[in-house]
Amino acid sequence: MQERIDGERLDGKVALVTGASRGIGTAIARRLAAEGATVACTARTMEPDPRYPGTLRETVEMIEKAGGKAAAFKGDLSNADDRKGLVDEVRSALGPIDILVNNAAVTFFLPIDTFPEKRFKLMIETQVWSTIDLAQQVIPDMRSRGAGWILNISSRAAVKPMGPPFEEFYKTGNSSVYGLCKAALERLSLGMAAELFDDNIAVNTLAPWDNVPTPGAGVHDLVEKYRLEPEEIIAQAALELCAAEPKTLTGRVAYSQSLIQELGVTPHALDGRPLGTWPRAH
C-alpha cells in the first residue's frame, strides 16, 4: 500500500539525497518528497545489485506513486568527476539545490592490523571528502537563495569506546575505521555549522539510536541480536532537520529517537505499517 502524506513543509525545495537506492537513503528521500520537495536520488548504479534489494528507479517509482516528485541520477561519489557532473546535472534538470543529504557510504569492517590502505582511502573519499566536495558545490546556490540545509548521516560508531573493559561491539566489530570516518564527519559538520551560520545554512549530523534493518546492515550482520529501529524514525528526524528555520536547528550531533522526542514529533509511516510506540526509552 502506498500512502500519500499531504505535506507542504518543503514545497518548492530541491533536495539531493545520496545513497538513495535503498535503506535509510530511500526512506529519507520518500519522506522529503512527501512534504513537497523535488528529490534528486543518486547512487552508484541504476541497476540492481545482487547483494542488496532496491534500485534508484524503484525509489523514484515509490515517490511518484505516492504523488511526489523525484528523479534518478547515477553517480559514484568516490569519483571527483562524478560528483561535479552530478551536481551540474541535478541543477540543470531540477534547479538550485536547497537541501543536501549526505547518506552514501562505502564501508568495510576489517581488523585494524590488516586494514588495506586502498579501502581506507576509499572510505575517507566517499564518507568525508565527498561531503566537503558536494557542500562546496551547493553552498553558492544556498547563499544566493538565502537559506540551505546540509544533513550528514552518521552512526553511533562515532562514539569513542569507553574502557577497559570495552563493549563487545568495539572489541570484535572491526569498526575502528568506520568509527573514525563518522567521528570526522561529526566534527566537520559542527565546524561547517559555525562557518555557515551567518549565511542561514543549517548543518547537522543524524544517526539512528538503534540499528536500522536495512539491506546493508543485514549484509554486515548488524540486524540479528541488535535492537532495531524502523527506518521511518530516522526519516522523520531527517525531515525535521531539513525543514526547520536554519538558525534554530543547526550544529547538532543528533540521534533520531532523541530528536523527535525533544521536538514532540509523531513519526509518520511511509507505507501504512504501524510503528507502535516511538520513540522508546533507551
CA–CA separation, 70 vs 181, rounded Å? 29
Ranges of residues in the chain whose predicted pLDDT is under 50: 1-4, 216-224, 281-282
Domain assignments of the chain as residue spans, ordered by start: 14-263
> Is 226 labeled as catalytic in the residue annotation?
no
Query: Which amino acid, one-letter code, is at 145?
Result: R
Residue 243: its H or E element: helix 231-243
Question: Which residues are CB-neighbours of 154 under 8 A, at least 6 positions away?
Answer: 182, 185, 186, 205, 206, 207, 253
CA–CA separation, 8 vs 144, rounded Å? 22
Residue of 52, 178, 226, 255 marked catalytic: 178
**Which pLDDT value is given to residue 217?**
42
Strand partners, 201: 148
Phi-psi region at 249: left, alpha or beta (left = phi > 0; alpha = psi -120 to 50): beta
* 212 within 8 A of 231, measured Cβ to Cβ: yes
Q: What is the pLDDT of residues 212-270, one digit of tens each?
A: 775 544 444 443 455 669 899 999 999 999 999 999 999 999 999 999 999 999 888 88
How is domain 14-263 classified at the CATH fold level? Rossmann fold (3.40.50)
